[in-house]
Chains A and B, each alone.
Chain A
Amino acid sequence: MTVPTLAEVANPVAMGYGVRLGQNLFQLAYADGVGLRVQAAPPEQSQRIIENPEDVAQEFGLVWSRADFGGGEGLWRAHRTDGSRLDASRYWTSENLDVSPPRVSVDARVPSELQLSRDFEQVIGTDGDTYAGPMIVTSDDRIFAVDTSPVNDEIVELTSLDATNPVATVVHTAAGTTFGTIGSIASGDPNRFLASEGRNDSGLLSGAVLYNLNGGVSGSWSTHRSANNTSFGVFFAGGRMLYSEVTSSQSVLKEILTPGTPADDVIIDTGPGNQGVSAVIDAGTAILAAWADGTIRAYQSVDGKLTVVAESDLPLRDERESVSSMVAIGDLMLIGTGVVVDALNSGAIGRLWLASLSGVIPTDYQLLKVWGEPHETTTTDFVPASMVKARNSIWIAGRHGMPITSAPQRALWRYDLTTGGLSHWSYVVNDPNSTADSMRVGSSGGRLWVSIDAFGLYREISDYVAQGEIHLPLVDHFSGDDKTWVGFKAEIEMAGVGSEVTIFWTTDPGALGSPASSQWILGKTFTVSDTGQTLYQILDPVSGVNPQSRYLALRVLVKAQTDRADTPRVRWVSTVSYPTQNDVIVEVPILISDVVRRPNRRPLRVLGHGNDVWTSLKTLEGSSVELEVYRPSEKVRGLVMSVTAPQRAQTNRGSQLEFAVVTVRGRRYT
């Protein structure tokens, strides 16, 4: 005898079967005190994760919040096993937002708020000209930029930097009978300058290294060394004046001992032809030079002469990858690199590495950010061209598309030295071109300056950018279960007329980073009179009910007031959800009598049938099964937790009932 199966019975309900376990059919037992029971299973573990005070609320359910955004971008899921303390202040991506962590100012502790970053404007000097790069900011807050408008480039010194039109003084005009260019400028102190120059003397190309030891304005620029078909780069590091000399046959890094007397120059290092030095920095324990072959070499003074003491290579370096910029603070280094993927169109992938200085060379490389991937055929130069360190930040400049809206922008990114968080700071100027024009960033008088070769010189202003947005991470409360998403809250300090904060939500992970996705559902637009704090319902626009899903993510769009003189400030946002208790425990009393009862049929006594049924049930104990109770309809996939020994019950009318209770714990399905 066998237990009937679904394949053998076309219409189980008509044949009196009340429940299916796997493929086997059973009859339910009903008597006083015996019946089907379905109840929600108690949660195995608490899902409540508390990261911020805002997570603690006198509300039933799960609360997730962000009250600090300083941890930077790149957090895809809010809750993860390999997370860190900083996860509580991280998010997925942002643009044009100041997400600085709480910081101490002169007057008070500035709370961590989400606000728009400052805008940039192009600088026009008192001579009516615009300027470009290269640019340097001296330690006494003078800026030396290049005026490319004349036939020959001019080095212009800008002073009165806060004035509407800074005072512009031409301090040098590049040599050359047809045109001359300024390739780079370096300054070691307020009085000592170096510049590299390209010259075209009626078709004869040559390069030169210039020096100025008299503070720029008052002093004259003299040629230290010049050579045909040679390009030069100039650097100041560790109080030393260095320059690179690159020809087709070899590349050389030299130190100037006596300006104007190249015969005294000391060759520090050499490399293959056309492999210049892109950056030289003073890392404290050593001077580091980034060579175009991807190596970073460390030099220390040995008997007064800089000597190579160590060499570091980028990990898993693409052979086309080379260092474009470096910054070292203490034992922390940021290294910008580029991978040329389209030399013809200057297409290059940009990468930002974090490394630690172990001794004299960078080690423990961690890739922080990649720009331009996976576009291996990109024709845009995404290389982080320049970095500058400030008190609590490192600013990274490059032609990085906007992280969210993907607009082609010259932009600044910010690496926070206190949290290690990386965030998009602000766009500088729209730049639909893709040429690899160099870019420099500097800081003077508390504001940022950016020069873009052949494009212009820009400075940070007090106005805010028009709008920015942030995509917060996917919240799942460390549970794969669906949650019922109830609503969200926000505390917002609105600005003046025109300011807005709009909060969208999505249950679709694919919407993150894609503001145009239709999966972003408008939650609430806060205008001038709103302050948030109310629980705003999250309702599915189609069904009109709270959505159920594993994830929820918020998107906050911030718009400055109309004159952009002020920005709304988002202090915190939070979500409230209820755990959707998908696990149920179903207790099914199954008839194990020998008498088979079915609708409209005479009861049938099958000797041994009850024992067969009970035995088959017992073998299911501990097994995963699909349970289907026909009426009331319940479908559960789960585990048979227990099968009781045969029990008896007395029915109101008729004979005794023999049954066993099967307990299944699992999840409903449809």
Chain B
Amino acid sequence: MLTGMSTVANLIDRIYREYLEPAHLQPSFVVVETAPSPVSTGTTFVYQAGITPPEDIDVLGIGTLIEFEGSQELARATAVDTGTRTVTMVRAVDGTTAATSIPVGARVKIAPPFPRINVFTALADAVEDLAPELWVEKSVRFPYRSQIQLAPADCVDPLTWVDLNGNEYPVSRTRGVGIAGRVHVNMQQVPAGVSGFLRYRGRVTRPTAETDDLTAAGVRAEWEKVVIAKTVAQVLAGGDLTNRLLEYMSGLLSDGERQSSGERLRNSAFAWARQLEQDAQRSLLWEQGVEAVDPPREVYQ
């Protein structure tokens, strides 16, 4: 049972821990002995001896991307002196932001197969993509201005309109003529010129920082699995699926998925995410009694 507040960083850590870098699939890394100085702009660091096998150091060649543990920064190695164990690099490449904290003892992943910036982006996408299947009920001051009005940007489906006296009027979603792709509200039954509020099913706000609180943003605990699955599927779609991950994932899905190709697995991951999503949706609808659906499956216990 998932409980408590979850930040984006919490979920990212969990994704790494459970799926992308489980204990038996750790990436190659070196350990910082002397951090870059200044920490955000320094271009060299020294790694500890005796920890990283030579072949891993061999990979740490010129042009190799490295990632400081816990940060979303990617740096590009430009020189490696294996004698002094000094790595020279270009900081914050590929649109990333330099880390502000690189403690001694931190791991520096060598050519990380799943950069944290990618995981963060995929997770943000996944949160955003919860809608329309999963939504958060929101309300916003929405004065009557015309029969057809542009809905709030995060609106997925308008529910009712409520005047200041608490009188509720039905509204419907309609095709708008304003901004393409945005939802419009049909206010035909709302008294003209009256001020009130629009109740609607809205999207969960896309996180912009790892410190964002997903729970506060409306992501229910049981939806986190959906976010995780979508994130993993998206990240894997851009990366190489290892055999071990394949085994793990296929074990979660069905026995028939064992010994599959990467593509099939990737598709399976997406299917898994979809299944989780549908379960969550069913649960949401059941809870709200909005639509006649079967009881949700006990998939989160």
* Interface residue ranges, A against B (CB under 8 Å): 1-5, 8-10, 15, 596, 598-606, 609, 653-654
B28 / chain A contacts, CB cutoff of 8 Å:
601-602, 604
Task: Output the least CB separation between B57 and chain A (Å).
Answer: 9
How many contacts between A and B, using CB within 8 angstroms? 51
Please list the 3 inter-chain residue pairs (A to B) with the smallest Cβ-Cβ separation, ordered nearest first. Answer: A4-B54, A596-B55, A1-B58
Q: Distance (Å) between the CB of B50 and the closest chain A CB? A: 5
Say whether, besides A606-B59, A653-B259, A8 and B54 are in contact (CB < 8 Å).
Answer: yes
Q: How far is the CA of A9 from the CA of B59 in the complex (A)?
A: 16
Please give the distance in Å from B55's CB to the nearest CB on chain A: 5
Among candidates B27, B53, B55, residue contacting A602 with C-beta atoms closer than 8 Å: B27
A654 to B240, CA, bound (A): 13
List 20 interface pairs A-B (beta carbons < 8 Å), by A numbering: A1-B55, A4-B55, A8-B54, A9-B50, A15-B53, A596-B53, A596-B55, A598-B53, A599-B24, A600-B26, A601-B25, A601-B28, A602-B25, A602-B27, A603-B242, A604-B59, A609-B55, A609-B58, A653-B243, A653-B259
- Docked-complex contact A604 and B25, CB < 8 angstroms: no
Interface residue B263 (Cβ < 8 Å from any Cβ of A): no
B287 interface residue, CB < 8 Å from A? no
Inter-chain contacts of A596 with B (CB < 8 A): 53, 55-56
Q: Which of B48-81 contact A (CB under 8 A)?
A: 50, 53-56, 58-59
Are A2 and B25 neighbours in the complex by a CB distance under 8 Å? Answer: no
Contacts of A609 in B (CB 8 A): 55, 58
A177 to chain B, nearest CB (A): 103
A9 partner residues in chain B, CB cutoff 8 A:
50, 53-54
Instruction: Check B243–A10 contact: CB distance below 8 A.
Output: no
* Per-position binary interface string of chain B over residues 169-198, scored 1 when its CB falls under 8 Å from any chain A CB and 0 otherwise: 000000000000000000000000000000
Chain A residues near B243: list those with CB within 8 A: 653-654
The size bracket of the interface on B is 10 to 19
Distance in angstroms from A366 CB to nearest chain B CB is 65
Q: Which parts of B4-31 form the interface with A (CB within 8 Å)?
A: 21, 23-28
Q: A599 contacts which chain B residues (CB < 8 A)? A: 24
List the A side residues contacting B152 at CB < 8 Å: none
A10 cross-chain contacts in B, Cβ below 8 A: 50
Interface centre among A1, A599, A602, A603 (most CB of B within 10 A): A602
Q: Select from chain B the residue with minimum beta-carbon distance to A601.
A: B26
A373→B170 CA distance, assembly (Å): 128
Distance, CA A1 to CA B80, complexed state (A): 12
Q: Tell me the nearest residue of chain A to B21, going by C-beta.
A: A602
Residues of chain A within 8 A (CB-CB) of B25 are: 600-602
Q: Is B113 an interface residue (CB 8 A)?
A: yes
What separation, in Å, do the CA atoms of A606 and B21 have in the docked complex?
20
For B53, what are the chain A residues with a Cβ–Cβ distance below 8 Å?
Answer: 4, 8-9, 15, 596, 598
Out of A1, A3, A600, A605, name the residue touching B23 (CB < 8 Å): A600
How far is B53's CA from A10's CA once the two chains are assembled, in angstroms?
9
What chain B residues lie within 8 Å of A598 (beta carbons)? 53
Residue of chain B at shortest CB distance from A4: B54
Task: State in angstroms the CA–CA spacing of A3 and B59 once bound together.
Answer: 13
B24 touches A600 (CB 8 A): yes
Kindly list 17 other residue pairs between chains A and B, CB separation below 8 angstroms, not including A601-B27, A602-B242, A653-B243.
A2-B54, A2-B58, A4-B54, A8-B50, A8-B54, A9-B50, A10-B50, A15-B53, A596-B53, A599-B24, A601-B25, A601-B26, A602-B25, A602-B113, A604-B56, A605-B59, A653-B259
Q: How many whole Å from A601's CB to the nearest CB in chain B? A: 5
- A348 nearest CB across to chain B (Å): 70
List B contacts of A605 (CB < 8 A): 59
Question: Which B residues are in CB contact (< 8 Å) with A5?
Answer: 54
Cα distance A603–B259 in the bound complex, in angstroms = 18
- Nearest chain B residue, comparing its CB with the CB of A598: B53
A1-B56 Cα distance, complex, nearest whole Å: 10
- Nearest to B50 among chain A residues (CB) is A10
Whole-angstrom distance between the Cβ of A22 and the nearest chain B Cβ: 15
Q: Which residues of A contact B242 (CB under 8 A)?
A: 602-603
Q: Is the CB of B26 within 8 A of A602?
A: yes
Please measure, in the bound complex, the distance between the C-alpha atom of A654 and the C-alpha atom of B229, giving whole angstroms.
Answer: 25
Which residues of chain A come closer than 8 Å to B21, judged between CB atoms? Answer: 602
Query: Closest chain B residue to A654 by CB distance?
Result: B243
Chain B residues with CB below 8 A from A3, complex form: 54
Q: What's the Cα separation between A4 and B50 when bound, in Å?
A: 11
Shortest beta-carbon distance from B261 to chain A in Å = 13
The residue on B at minimum CB distance from A11 is B50
- Separation of A609 and B55 alpha carbons in the complex (Å): 8
Q: Roughly how many angstroms separate A15 CA and B58 CA in the complex, as a whole number?
A: 15
| Shortest distance between the CB of A616 and any CB in chain B (Å) | 12
Question: For the complex, what is the distance from the CA of A3 to the CA of B242, rounded to whole Å?
Answer: 25
Interface centre among A2, A601, A609 (most CB of B within 10 A): A601
Q: Known interface pairs A9-B53, A600-B23, A600-B25. Does A606 touch B113 (Cβ–Cβ under 8 Å)?
A: no
| Bound Cα distance from A600 to B55, whole angstroms | 15
Please name the residue on chain A nearest to B56 by beta carbon: A604
A606 contact set on B, CB distance < 8 A = 55, 58-59
Q: Which residues of chain B are within 8 angstroms of A654 by Cβ–Cβ distance?
A: 243
Q: Which residues of A contact B54 (CB under 8 A)?
A: 2-5, 8-9
Asked, given contacts A10-B50, A653-B243, A653-B259, whether A604 binds B26 with beta carbons under 8 Å apart, the answer is no
Alpha-carbon gap, A609 to B28, bound state (A):
16
**Which residue of A has the minimal Cβ distance to B49?**
A8
With both beta carbons as reference points, the residue of chain A lying nearest to B243 in the complex is identified as A654
Chain B residues with Cβ under 8 A from A600's Cβ?
A: 23-26
Q: Given A10-B50, A654-B243, is A604 in contact with B55 using a C-beta cutoff of 8 Å? A: yes
What is the CA–CA distance of A604 and B243 in the complex, to the nearest angstrom?
A: 13
A600–B29 Cα distance when bound, in Å, is: 13
Q: How far, in angstroms, from A8 to B242 measured CA to CA in the complex?
A: 28
**For the complex, what is the distance from the CA of A600 to the CA of B242, rounded to whole Å?**
13
Q: Return chain B residues, CB-CB under 8 Å to A653.
A: 243, 259
Mask: chain B, 90-117; 1 = CB below 8 Å from A; 0 = not: 0000000000000000000000010000
Q: Given the complex, which residues of B lie within 8 Å of A603, measured CB to CB?
A: 242
CB of A10 to closest CB in B, whole Å = 5
In the bound complex, CA of A605 to CA of B56 (Å): 9
In the complex, what residues of A have CB within 8 A of residue B24's CB?
599-600
Contacts of A2 in B (CB 8 A): 54, 58
**Identity of the chain B residue whose Cβ is nearest the Cβ of A653 in the assembled complex:** B243
Q: Give the CA-CA distance A1 to B243 in the complex, in Å.
A: 27
Measured between beta carbons, the chain A residues less than 8 angstroms from B113 are 602
Bound together, the chains give a CA A606 to CA B242 distance in angstroms of: 16
Q: Nearest Cβ in chain B — how far from A336, in angstroms?
A: 74
Nearest Cβ on chain B to A143's Cβ, whole angstroms: 91
In the docked arrangement, what's the CA distance between A9 and B56, Å? 12
State the CA gap A5–B259 with chains docked (Å): 36
Which residue in chain B gives the minimum CB-CB distance to A595?
B55
B28's closest neighbor in chain A, by CB? A604
Chain A CB count within 10 A is highest, among B26, B28, B55, B259, for B55
Distance in angstroms from A617 CB to nearest chain B CB is 15
Chain A contacts of B55 at CB under 8 A? 1, 4, 596, 604, 606, 609
Measured in the bound complex, the distance between the Cα atoms of B58 and A605 in whole Å is: 10
Nearest chain-A residue to B111 (Cβ)?
A: A604
Rounded to whole angstroms, the CA-CA distance of A9 and B55 in the bound complex is 11
CA distance A471 to B265 in the complex (A): 80
Q: How far is the CA of A5 from the CA of B54 in the complex (A)?
A: 8
How far apart sit A532 and B54, CA to CA, in the bound complex (Å)? 66
| Closest partner residue, chain B, to A14 (CB atom) | B53
Name the residue among B21, B28, B54 with the largest chain A CB count within 10 angstroms.
Answer: B54
Output the residue of B21, B23, B243 with the most chain A CB within 10 A: B243
In the bound complex, how far is the Cα of B24 from the Cα of A600, in angstroms?
A: 4
